[in-house]
Structure 1
């Protein structure tokens, strides 16, 4: 099998969780042009699938994603445009997203991880935002997103230096939410996604919009809450000391 055949995004859906796996073993899961294009094509179907409550993005084997595979680009393709389109599609995914990170999470890999809502990593992971090594201007949208995750000071540190940082530094900087001992990442992510799928999808959808800066949807979400009955179910379950059974799901259009 040649390298082009090995390079792909794979996905599975089980127990409410869609897992998208970046696989390009010959190049530490570097994203080819075809893989960048495939992600925005894949995500709408997963967003519309009522069986999907959470999306996990991870890498095959011992690494997350080592960036972009520049050798896969044709002469007329803009690697930044491809990466930004994939990043924006991931950031716009309307359900909770979790990056599960082992090994290298560098360049475009860090771009994709930053576009996820939550980031869990295993000891030994390495992170870097590396355009300054190549004299590339990092896209404005990606810079703003990085700064929203780690703050302007750490964003400048990463962008100015292009240095790789370890997982403990990434945790301290706020890029990571949790850092797990070696061998425990998969179990923790599985357990945490079970928690997410048991919670109110209504709460999560509204919180995602509000946290991401939407300021015009208060009435919409108040109406959704009133019509769904989920608040009454949540209160009743609390008083009856049972697990709630929430019924709200997004409309097929995502509105």
Structure 2
């Protein structure tokens, strides 16, 4: 359910459970975590996270969420591993981003979304706290009031609102997503890994 496409300088991880809106099971989370760990060892310069179909991810699989996945440490472990990668990380959001799936997107360096995407994180309604690092990363991108708008107010943002708020960095038509990611990845793929790592460190508060 996680598809890995390897290139010389870029790996792409695709959430491939489109019949279930790419909702995430424990096995999928563990697979993602293992692949990201492998990316750190492989010395690639770009890692892209995307989804199959028309939704990036609806968050945790509902049955597994009720069984404990919603509060499992694997979410935080994965987002921390993504954030620590020395390569450029891009969330290519092919559709709606919801719930716990926010963590991996927030941990990426860049987020590109298609025009029809929606963004919501309904922890208030469901009675869960967000994963520990997600609010801080959301505040860094959007500010505290807008983070509370999503997390406590249950707001569902359009792609245009997400762009205006700073949650995403680019919005494109669905058929332009690949080209947009290619353009953003080109310099990192062609450049030196040590320079890329240094730029990321210089941009870290």
TM-score, L = length of structure 2? 0.92
Matches of residues 230-241 of structure 1 in structure 2 within 5 Å?
none
Answer yes or no: is 1:173 the counterpart of 2:169. no
Cα pair distance change 1:181/1:73, threshold 3 Å: closer
Structure with max Cα Rg: 1
- Residue 140 of structure 1 aligns to a residue whose secondary structure is coil
Cα deviations across residues 114-151 of structure 1 (Å, max 9, x unaligned)?
Answer: 11100011111111121011111223322111111222
Offset of 1:195 from its aligned partner?
Answer: 2.5
Answer yes or no: is 1:203 the counterpart of 2:203. no
Partners in 1 of 2:25 and 2:88 — Cα distance?
Answer: 25
Partners in 2 of 1:58 and 1:114 — Cα distance?
Answer: 13
Offset of 1:16 from its aligned partner?
Answer: 1.3
Cα deviations across residues 22-55 of structure 1 (Å, max 9, x unaligned)?
Answer: 11122100110111122221112112214x2100
Matches of residues 84-99 of structure 1 in structure 2 within 5 Å?
84-99=76-91
- Residue 207 of structure 1 aligns to a residue whose secondary structure is helix
Offset of 1:76 from its aligned partner?
Answer: 6.0
- Aligned match of 1:142: 134
Cα pair distance change 1:25/1:200, threshold 3 Å: same
Please say which of residues 199-208 and 20-29 is displaced more in the overlay.
199-208
Cα deviations across residues 209-247 of structure 1 (Å, max 9, x unaligned)?
Answer: 23334xxxxxxxxxxxxxxxxxxxxxxxxxxxxxxxxxx
Aligned residues: 205
Partners in 1 of 2:147 and 2:112 — Cα distance?
Answer: 19
Contact 2:102 2:134 in 1 (8 A): no
Please say which of residues 116-125 and 105-114 is displaced more in the overlay.
105-114
Answer yes or no: is 1:108 the counterpart of 2:108. no
Contact 2:64 2:70 in 1 (8 A): no
Answer yes or no: is 1:33 the counterpart of 2:26. yes
Partners in 2 of 1:212 and 1:130 — Cα distance?
Answer: 28
Answer yes or no: is 1:11 the counterpart of 2:23. no
- Aligned match of 1:48: 41
**Does 1 or 2 have the higher relative contact order (CA < 8 Å, sep 6+)?**
2
Cα deviations across residues 144-185 of structure 1 (Å, max 9, x unaligned)?
Answer: 111112221211111111221100000000011111123111
Please say which of residues 198-207 and 184-193 is displaced more in the overlay.
198-207
Structure number having the greater strand percentage: 2
Contact 1:53 1:197 in 2 (8 A): yes
Cα pair distance change 1:207/1:30, threshold 3 Å: same
- Aligned match of 2:17: 24
- Aligned match of 1:191: 183
